[in-house]
């Protein structure tokens, strides 16, 4: 299958400005990151092909609606509150370039970046005790509720990240 990605003349800020603004934090060293809007839940989506999650909508909107970016994205449907995406904005985090690709092609690019670094899964055998310990640890992590102070700190970090992105974009003039 030929993958068609169209390079866009969109300014991509130096790392980690965009990544932090959209809520992407990873130690996996992804090369490609995709951004789009999902009507189900009305959320900004972020994916590196290994993990896909709802991102920081204010950072996503600040980027795609900025006057230095929006004119290049206007012809493409990246999703909205009323319609699913036909395209994904794919950011090359290494070369700091932006591309547009149809959803399926973007997913192929994202998944493909892990083929050489993700080992084939080997069967795992666990004893009953090991399984119960693993399950207990998982349940503790899932049920952990952040404190109000932790939530406030995260919200402040997110807002600072969005402000950094907007400042960088505004300085392009």
89 and 80 Cβ atoms separated by less than 8 Å:
no
pLDDT of 126 > 90? The answer is: no
| pLDDT band at 1; cut points 50, 70, 90 | low
Mean pLDDT of the 147-152 span? 94
44-59 per-position pLDDT tens digit: 999 999 999 999 999 9
Closest CA to 93 of 34, 158, 37, 169: 34
Distance CA 113, CA 48 (A): 9
More confident residue, 126 or 36: 36
Mean pLDDT, the chain, rounded, equals 93
State the DSSP H helix or E strand holding residue 102, giving kind and residue range, or none if neither: strand 97-102
Mean pLDDT of the 26-46 span? 94
Other beta carbons less than 10 A from residue 172's beta carbon: 11
| pLDDT band at 121; cut points 50, 70, 90 | low
Q: Take residue 160 and report the two structure tokens written for it.
A: 């600072």
| pLDDT band at 118; cut points 50, 70, 90 | low
3-state SS, residue 49: coil
Distance CA 163, CA 158 (A): 9
What pLDDT, on a 0 to 100 scale, did the predictor assign at position 3? 83
């Amino acid at each position: 299958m030929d993958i068609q990605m169209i390079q866009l003349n969109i300014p991509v800020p130096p790392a980690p400005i965009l990544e932090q603004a959209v809520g992407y934090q990873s130690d996996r060293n992804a090369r490609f990151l995709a951004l789009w809007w999902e009507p189900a839940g009305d959320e900004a989506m972020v994916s590196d092909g290994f993990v896909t999650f709802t991102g920081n909508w204010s950072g996503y909107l600040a980027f795609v609606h900025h006057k230095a970016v929006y004119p290049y994205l206007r012809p493409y449907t990246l999703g909205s509150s009323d319609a699913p995406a036909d395209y994904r904005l794919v950011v090359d985090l290494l070369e700091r370039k932006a591309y547009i690709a149809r959803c399926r092609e973007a997913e192929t690019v994202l998944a493909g970046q892990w083929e050489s670094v993700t080992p084939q899964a080997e069967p795992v055998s666990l004893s009953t005790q090991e399984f119960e310990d693993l399950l207990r640890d998982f349940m503790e992590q899932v049920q952990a509720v952040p404190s109000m102070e932790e939530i406030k700190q995260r919200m402040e970090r997110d807002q600072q990240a969005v402000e950094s992105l907007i400042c960088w974009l505004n300085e392009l003039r």
